[in-house]
Structure 1
């Protein structure tokens, strides 16, 4: 029976702690032959872990890091991040797991901790939108995907983590037991009423998007690329929720708001490289990337080259 170790640090939201058991437990209950041993492991050793928002509380966990030593899968949920170096024992556990071929998933701020091991260097990874800049700053060798949706690279799975790593868990389930069981498990977990409500909302948002309801916001983005444009800030400008914003962007542009914004920024970078002599560092700041270290991996994925090499080849005049 595969062992899944959930590595719990102080400050993790309660649903991040319970989501893995909910997903794998539901799959095992509904499908004979599916079995998992889910262990909730307090990183500081068996005992109490303090849960964070939205419902601060305490949870007493029966396992510690030692119980993750032979786990087939290690999951590192979001947790409180104060910028301090992760515990050496935790980093050692993650490195040892990777060395023996275990799969490792991290969501939200858990991705920052996983990146501290060096295991994500040279790989693609994502995290919650508000932490992508921090991930790129602290770990410039990680190719940060700003979308926040599930990224799988080798044995590592990372995500934004809004739903407690649900996408990571379902992805692991699909790898182990196929899409049929995973789809049934997903339907079991998601209320039909919620699905119906989402379809109604999508219809409304598509109508509004098609009628020009995003025009003002799209124009504003064009002139505001230097600003720290989070989904929440863009949604506030459009006067909608973040989830509604992304549905409207998908209906209008075929992309989520973060993906659309990234495309705008990269196009502006290319334009500035072609027609100005501005330093790459200045261009990165003007287009919202903050630094050339953050810009480079995105630019390389788009063009297959560096900003300086691109400028040398495409300089106008």
Structure 2
């Protein structure tokens, strides 16, 4: 069982802490693989807003975890606590993968874990992070960055995206999608997607595409067009494009392609279906089309992806 340690301190952002606990704390029903063991680690009782939290263990527990999650905290003008910085550095040196949510990136940067790496944080603080830590390649225009053993995310909803990305790495797309459905959030948003500084992604399902997106996901095997989506949403194609850019950061067709790739990945992971059958089920039409788009998006052909995934998870069908 993989251990996820949540590193807490005074003044932390409770939304990001809650997101991590929700994602890693409870596994989806029927999951074959052992789920995570979550432990909250801190220097003692910590306060955030009007709340007080008693950690399960001290910060000395971090180096024993497989994954360390560092939520953000409110006052980025202050240097992060030295004991937290030292514990996070020690955890990484011991082999743990370390992920920051929102302004938790300042802790990773102070620990030297982001030197020479690309990283991100909430868009409102990217300039501060870059100025304070010039050896960090700060990218202000992405939701999260996967740099091998070190991960950073932007704020709020992007914290959920990164946590689901970690689940996807550990358990595959099907399980990550199940967790996303339980939490009523989109199953996948690529890390390179824009943070939408001028029009943030809504955290509630009250945006104009709230009904359209799940409707389309249920029909990925069909030849959907922009006109089909616009008709279903009862709006013009031009208006639909504006809403897609605002809500998803991309165009309707690019969003559809991303969902089709994710569906293909899930089928490659969980079934023995032929590439032709998966191409049809994911709406790609032909195996040739699937291979072309899959290679360009994922970086490897579908057959290689399936073999790699199965070599990592011997129990997969």
Q: Structure 1 residue 194 and structure 2 residue 205: aligned?
A: yes
Q: 1:51 aligns with which of 48, 52, 62?
A: 48
CA RMSD of aligned residues (A): 3.4
Please give the alpha-carbon distance, in whole angstroms, between the structure 1 residues aligned to 2:177 and 2:249: 26
Alpha-carbon contact 2:69-2:99 (below 8 Å) kept: yes
Residues 193-226 of structure 1, C-alpha deviations (whole Å, 9 max, x = no match):
9399634587789957826997xxxxxxxxxxxx
Please give the alpha-carbon distance, in whole angstroms, between the structure 1 residues aligned to 2:26 and 2:36: 11
- How far did residue 23 of structure 1 move? 1.1
Q: TM-score, normalised by structure 1?
A: 0.60
What residue is the counterpart of 1:105 in the other structure?
99
What residue is the counterpart of 1:250 in the other structure?
250
Q: How does 1:191-230 map to 2 (within 5 A)?
A: 194=205, 198-200=209-211, 210=238
Q: How does 1:6-25 map to 2 (within 5 A)?
A: 6-25=6-25
Please give the alpha-carbon distance, in whole angstroms, between the structure 2 residues aligned to 1:187 and 1:248: 17
Q: 1:133 aligns with which of 127, 134, 140?
A: 127
Q: Which structure exhibits the higher relative contact order, with contacts defined as CA atoms closer than 8 Å and separated by 6 or more residues?
A: 1
Alpha-carbon contact 1:4-1:37 (below 8 Å) kept: yes
Q: 2:80 aligns with which of 86, 103, 107?
A: 86
Whose helix proportion is higher, 1 or 2?
A: 1
- How far did residue 58 of structure 1 move? 2.2
Alpha-carbon contact 1:127-1:146 (below 8 Å) kept: yes
SS in structure 1 of the partner of residue 172 of structure 2:
helix
- Unmatched 5+ residue regions in structure 1? 215-242, 256-317
Greater mean alpha carbon deviation, residues 153-162 or residues 243-252: 243-252
Aligned residues: 221
SS in structure 2 of the partner of residue 109 of structure 1:
helix
Greater mean alpha carbon deviation, residues 4-13 or residues 28-37: 28-37
- Unmatched 5+ residue regions in structure 2? 187-203, 214-228, 256-317
Please give the alpha-carbon distance, in whole angstroms, between the structure 2 residues aligned to 1:122 and 1:178: 29
What residue is the counterpart of 1:151 in the other structure?
145
- How far did residue 182 of structure 1 move? 1.0
- How far did residue 83 of structure 1 move? 2.3
- How far did residue 171 of structure 1 move? 1.4
SS in structure 2 of the partner of residue 63 of structure 1:
coil
Alpha-carbon contact 1:41-1:64 (below 8 Å) kept: yes
Alpha-carbon contact 1:19-1:166 (below 8 Å) kept: yes
Q: 2:57 aligns with which of 49, 63, 71?
A: 63
Please give the alpha-carbon distance, in whole angstroms, between the structure 2 residues aligned to 1:150 and 1:36: 21
- How far did residue 105 of structure 1 move? 0.4
